């Protein structure tokens, strides 16, 4: 029934799903796991507050994230933070500039920001012309982002999602303005640029706990615990695989490839 090479993939998905729901239910019953502090998310309120105090706008982009390909999970993580920031921006009357690289992401981002303003009780403050699409060409988009940052003299820059070669360019543009920069991506090849150039960085899997961290919803916190259990299982498999391969056995690789 299952195509060749998909059995282990399917079983691991079942394990991830089971651990997620099990720990989510446990959390609902009162066993709420504690989550490590994430300075980047703690700094979000401070960054928006600083913009309000200085009378400066803020900037947000989800980078080269699409909602129709493998980067969708990162896009959703970025959009989750975008909505939270939009709510704060509406509450503190901080203008919010959003730049998107792809059409589909742009349409969703427009709705997300609008919803954020609606939840803050200030739908009239939402300005569609501040949610921008410049181009799907990588560096035309990057130039547009940098242009907005410099022209509007933003007080905070948020860059969360999937980023490619434009990551360093955007991070350095924010650093040149001396604004608070909060970035995050699960793309390992661009992560070090953010770590080097930004004030706060969400490292890889940290972007996927944004929703749980900000809402402190027990069910979502339980799911984070479930994910950690799956990482422990993956680590054990890697360790056993490394040891068995060193001893000349291919047991783990043959199980994984089934």
Question: Residues binding other proteins: what is the number (CB under 8 A)?
Answer: 75
Binder of other proteins out of 216, 231, 245, 251 (CB under 8 A): 231
The secondary structure element, H or E, covering residue 7 is: helix 7-28
DSSP E strand stretches across the chain: 58-63, 96-100, 131-133, 156-162, 180-185, 200-203
Binder of other proteins out of 143, 240, 252, 256 (CB under 8 A): 143
**Residue 242 contacts other proteins per CB under 8 A:** no
Binder of other proteins out of 85, 96, 207, 221 (CB under 8 A): 207
Residue among 52 and 67 whose Cβ is closer to other proteins = 67
Residues 62 to 81 in contact with other proteins, rule: CB under 8 A:
66, 68, 72-74, 76-77, 79-80
Query: Is the Cβ–Cβ distance between 27 and 44 less than 8 Å?
Result: no
Query: Is the Cβ–Cβ distance between 105 and 78 less than 8 Å?
Result: no
Binder of other proteins out of 25, 39, 121, 215 (CB under 8 A): 215
Which one of the spans 34-42, 52-60, 163-171, 244-252 is the region binding other proteins (CB under 8 A)? Answer: 163-171
Q: Is 225 exposed, middle or buried (0-12, 13-18, 19+ CB in 10 A)?
A: buried
**Residue 106 contacts other proteins per CB under 8 A:** yes
Q: Apex CA 112: angle with CA 109 and CA 114, to 5°?
A: 110
Give least dist CB 61 to other proteins, A: 14
Residue among 124 and 129 whose Cβ is closer to other proteins = 129
Give least dist CB 213 to other proteins, A: 11
**Residue 18 contacts other proteins per CB under 8 A:** no
Residues 26 to 55 in contact with other proteins, rule: CB under 8 A:
none
258 contact partners, CB below 8 Å, separation of at least 6: 5, 7, 8
Q: Apex CA 147: angle with CA 142 and CA 152, to 5°?
A: 135
DSSP E strand stretches across 102-227: 131-133, 156-162, 180-185, 200-203
Binder of other proteins out of 43, 92, 125, 136 (CB under 8 A): 136
Binder of other proteins out of 32, 52, 107, 255 (CB under 8 A): 107
Give least dist CB 93 to other proteins, A: 20
Tell me how far apart the alpha carbons of residues 95 and 174 are, in angstroms, rounded to a whole number. 17
Binding mask 181-200 for other proteins (x = CB under 8 A): -----x-x--x-x-xxx---
């Amino acid at each position: 029934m299952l195509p060749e090479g998909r059995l282990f993939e399917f079983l691991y998905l079942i394990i991830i799903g089971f651990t997620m729901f099990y720990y989510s239910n446990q959390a609902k019953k009162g066993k709420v796991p504690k989550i490590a502090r994430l300075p980047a998310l703690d700094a979000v309120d401070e960054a928006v507050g600083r913009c309000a105090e200085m009378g400066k706008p803020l900037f947000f982009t989800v980078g080269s994230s699409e909602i129709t390909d493998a980067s969708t999970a990162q896009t959703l993580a970025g959009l989750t933070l975008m909505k939270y920031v939009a709510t704060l921006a509406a509450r503190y009357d901080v203008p919010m500039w959003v730049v998107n690289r792809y059409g589909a992401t742009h349409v969703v981002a427009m709705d997300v920001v609008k919803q954020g303003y609606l939840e803050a009780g200030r739908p009239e403050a939402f300005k569609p012309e501040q949610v921008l699409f410049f181009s799907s060409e990588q560096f035309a988009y990057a130039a547009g982002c940098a242009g907005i940052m410099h022209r509007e003299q933003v007080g905070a820059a948020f860059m969360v999602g999937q980023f490619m070669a434009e990551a360093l360019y955007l991070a350095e543009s924010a650093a040149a303005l001396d604004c608070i920069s909060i970035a995050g991506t699960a793309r390992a090849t661009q992560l070090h640029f953010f770590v080097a150039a930004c004030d706060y960085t969400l490292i890889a899997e940290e972007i996927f706990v944004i929703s749980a961290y900000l809402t402190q919803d027990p069910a979502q916190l339980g799911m984070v615990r479930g994910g950690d259990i799956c990482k422990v299982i993956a680590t054990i498999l890697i360790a056993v695989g490394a040891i068995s391969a060193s001893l000349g056995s291919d047991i783990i690789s043959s199980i994984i490839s089934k």
